[in-house]
Structure 1
Amino acid sequence: MSTIDHKATAAAILPLVGGAANVTSVAHCMTRLRLGLRDRSLVRDEELTALPAVMGVVDDDTYQIVLGPGTVARVTPEFEALIAEAPVTAEALADRGAAIRAERKSRNATPFKLFLRKIANIFVPLIPALIGCGIIAGLNGLLINLGWLPSVTPALAAMASGFMALIAVFVGYNTAKEFGGTPILGGAVAAIIVFPGVANIEAFGQKLSPGQGGVLGALAAAILAVYVEKWCRRVVPASLDVLVTPTLTVLVSGLVTIFGLMFVAGEISTAIGDFANWLLASGGAGAGFVLGGLFLPLVMLGLHQALIPIHATLIEQQGFTVLLPILAMAGAGQVGAAVAVYARLPHNTSIRNTIKSALPAGVLGVGEPLIYGVSLPLGRPFITACVGGAFGGGFVGLFNMLGDKVGSTAIGPSGWALFPLVDGNKGLGETIAIYAGGLLAGYAVGFLATYWFGFTQQMLTDLNTAPAEDAPDAKQREFSPAGV
């Protein structure tokens, strides 16, 4: 069979399987063209089997068209080429983003990343309280600076600080729950860390301080408690379990916590704070550039979860985390990149509509719709978005080096949603201005980098077309599938 025949066969098959819009994946084995389909009901089986080159069809996990050895290897690339020629739409990009997300999820199933996911599951439930208390703390600071409502500010201070004073207990509770122990026992062991009476205890030649070790100490203490509890469940007779297991769990884990973990975790916590301050004080713009530029790839790899305990430790120590405003610049680069995609594809109304609907969320710091719906499936705009984030991070990092610390009193929000949580070592107005300047830098560089370097000429040719439903020959044109 000649090349033209192979192309004709592919062209005959495509409309009979529902068109390019209905195809989500293309592969072949020795004899079969294997297609992933969105809607199986669109396939016209009888007409397919009537084609001269088709020997039969098999409906399995994928829809399989039997073409025979040799023929299938030649028809498949022609089939893929026909699909690639169809205009790219928001639906296609969304499918491609979903495929990337699913692939990333499967790759993240390593022991280390599963451990990080457990760590994230411990701290994520605490974020609403961190946000609420952080905003109250910011409001209280503003009232104190203005000299307003002096009778109210002590109450606001209590509301803002109460949760942080006991955060170790909540971390211990969630840790035991996540690692398969009894949550209340994890909380009980972690509560030792914040108990004022530990000030009367000496370990490693020095008096302990209430709260020493913080969330890291609570995390370690609760994990230890889980293992002690599980050991007790195995060896303690069932008749004594209700008395012996909780007693030994709290006793053994508590002693190790007081005479070991509190001191070690305290040293680690101090080292984390000192390193973060040193990094931005000495590295400045360079450190901010690297952190802001690498955050989106870290999210893709699932490694950003390792930063959650670090943020919590910095908030507990200093009242705010200096890392989050820099990392938030990745979202600014993403917004700038999305606006550039919108400007560069004036004829692709489908993608532009997706951007218009996702952009407000992106501005408020919710970047997933833009990442998985636009930039990541397109490829190059994801890279240029990282460049925008790098420049935004460099801007904030530069001011940190100059002595103007910009931090966040809570974990979670970014973009404009972070403004109520911004705090620092200088005036509130100055701190907000620096953060806003970083966002503007991220927007601008993300836009310019994407506008000039985010597309090849071939990409513009393929993408800058109206979707099939807007074209006069709509019946002959189909959507591009995901991942092809």
Structure 2
Amino acid sequence: MANYRAIAAAILEKVGGSENIANMTHCATRLRLNLKDPNKADDVAVKAISGVVGVVNKAGQYQVLIGTEVIHIYDEFETLVKGSGGVALEEKSSQGGSVIGQIFSAISGIFAPLLPALAGSGILRGLLILSVQLGLISETSGTYSILFAASMSVFYFLPVLLAFTSARRFGASPYISALIGAALLHPDFLTLLGEQGNGATTSFVGLPVVLMNYNSTVVPIILAIWAYSYLYKWLDKHIPETLKLVILPLISLAVMVPLTVMVIGPIGVYSGEWIANGVNWLIDRSGLLTGIVIGGGWSVLVSFGIHWAVNPIMINNISQNGFDYICPLTFACNFAVIGTALGVYLKGKDKKLKNFAVTGIVTIALSAIIEPTLFGLLVKNKKLFLAQIIAGAAGGAYLGLMKVVTNAFVFGSVTTFPAFIESNANVINGVIGLGISVIAGAVLGFIFTEKTDKLT
């Protein structure tokens, strides 16, 4: 078993110590740091640490590639920083790095804790749909209702969950923030919508309010908690300690719930819809081109660590529409990496190279984590990286052309394939598209691999 504390301590030392860290978070595979002085970080030394796959310094973030064990290292890393006299990093009011870097850091920090819940719920939903299609479960049964609630609750109550993770990221009270999100889903508030739904009107202390249905929404609550973080910090600074227990949450709820309903919420709903509609419009106009661009280019975004900027769009599509066109195209990328690694395994003669390739195949097939293979094998060889891009574009082109969707936000692997269970045609076309990625990747990987190649 890996010594996570030792790895965390070694990373902390090589990036300049706790005093050099302005902010930190993690995603599914990376420790993401905002460094006060990036020049203090020793890239070579960090890469040499056992358990570290690689280093990427892009978009204002110093990203340490670790893999699925990153959460354990993050916990130890944060403990070490706190032990040096620092405060919880999510609670710092100031952050280092560029504006773009802060945005990417915020997105990854908000959504990363929810990925297991989103993925597990999505797969359960896919399996439930399959069970109904096979006649194993009736849609009128209690079993169906219970499992449907289990699979869909994460999407319905997404504003509450995002409020909590957003508060941790922006430095507000997670529990008061969760209440702000919950208020938007209260039955009495939903009753105000009547039969009209979005666009219905009411009033608050004489001021007109345009109502929205906020269940399953993404953007409104993130904007609301971002705004609330400033109010929370001001209240926390100016309210006497003896009154904070009552006055701080009282003012927070009395101000933020109406403000969210009247101003922030509608802006968030409409902006989220515009973004999603824009992406879906592009797919409708040219699914083939969209598939080529995303299927082929996703690994480039991953290599720079900026793919998180697209993930909220997919999550919003799933929560609002029940399906998404982009997620299958990310599958094309992952299966292209599998195919390319397979080609390397079949052509290569070096034992270490073959073992690394087959390890990558198994890892991606089971966990959808492509970074170790991407950085350990493909990025180092431009021909192989190009092979994967071409293969991903080929598979993505077919998936986009056939308008293949997933009914869950998941990372592309064999284990998450139930997300394609929407219709028989969708499943078949999904298999064909991913098969194209694997075969094209294997052929090109075989062609571009030299028998004398070694793992460096």
Q: Into which bin does the TM-score normalised by the smaller protein fall?
A: 0.7 to 0.9
Distance (whole Å) between structure 2 residues aligned to residue 306 and residue 299 of structure 1: 11
> C-alpha offsets along residues 108-149 of structure 1, whole Å, 9 cap, x if unaligned?
244322431222122122122222222222233233334443
Distance (whole Å) between structure 1 residues aligned to residue 254 and residue 295 of structure 2: 44
Matches within 5 A, 1:73-472: 101-104=54-57, 108-109=61-62, 110-111=97-98, 112-150=100-138, 151=141, 152-199=143-190, 200=192, 202=202, 207-211=210-214, 214-346=217-349, 348-364=350-366, 365-400=368-403, 405-411=404-410, 413-424=411-422, 427=423, 429-452=424-447, 454=448, 460=450, 463-464=452-453
1:214 partner SS: coil
Gapped runs of 5+ residues in structure 2? 1-40, 63-96, 193-200
**Cα separation, partners in 2 of 1:351 and 1:164, compared to 1, 3 Å:** same
1:392–1:440: 8 Å Cα contact kept in structure 2?
Answer: yes
> Could you tell me which amino acid in structure 2 is paired with residue 434 of structure 1?
N
> C-alpha offsets along residues 422-467 of structure 1, whole Å, 9 cap, x if unaligned?
244xx2x221111111111111222233333x35xxxx48x447xx
TM-score (norm 1): 0.68
Matches within 5 A, 1:8-27: none
**Cα separation, partners in 2 of 1:324 and 1:96, compared to 1, 3 Å:** farther
Distance (whole Å) between structure 1 residues aligned to residue 295 and residue 412 of structure 2: 12
Gapped runs of 5+ residues in structure 1? 1-60, 63-93, 466-479
**Cα separation, partners in 2 of 1:97 and 1:363, compared to 1, 3 Å:** farther
2:184 partner SS: helix
1:98–1:372: 8 Å Cα contact kept in structure 2?
Answer: no
Distance (whole Å) between structure 2 residues aligned to residue 274 and residue 107 of structure 1: 29
Instruction: Note the C-alpha offset of 1:313.
Output: 0.8
Distance (whole Å) between structure 2 residues aligned to residue 205 and residue 276 of structure 1: 32
Bigger helix fraction: 1
Distance (whole Å) between structure 2 residues aligned to residue 415 and residue 140 of structure 1: 19
Distance (whole Å) between structure 2 residues aligned to residue 313 and residue 166 of structure 1: 13
TM-score (norm 2): 0.72
> C-alpha offsets along residues 251-275 of structure 1, whole Å, 9 cap, x if unaligned?
2221210101221111122223322
Distance (whole Å) between structure 1 residues aligned to residue 299 and residue 178 of structure 2: 34
2:369 partner SS: coil
2:324 partner SS: coil
CA RMSD of aligned residues (A): 2.9
1:330–1:386: 8 Å Cα contact kept in structure 2?
Answer: yes
1:122–1:174: 8 Å Cα contact kept in structure 2?
Answer: yes
Identical columns (%): 22
Instruction: Note the C-alpha offset of 1:107.
Output: 5.6
Distance (whole Å) between structure 1 residues aligned to residue 249 and residue 277 of structure 2: 37
> Could you tell me which amino acid in structure 2 is paired with residue 362 of structure 1?
I
**Cα separation, partners in 2 of 1:373 and 1:97, compared to 1, 3 Å:** farther
Counting matched residue pairs gives 361
1:406–1:434: 8 Å Cα contact kept in structure 2?
Answer: no
Larger Cα-atom Rg: 1
> Could you tell me which amino acid in structure 2 is paired with residue 121 of structure 1?
G
**Cα separation, partners in 2 of 1:103 and 1:215, compared to 1, 3 Å:** closer
> C-alpha offsets along residues 5-24 of structure 1, whole Å, 9 cap, x if unaligned?
xxxxxxxxxxxxxxxxxxxx
Instruction: Note the C-alpha offset of 1:206.
Output: 7.1
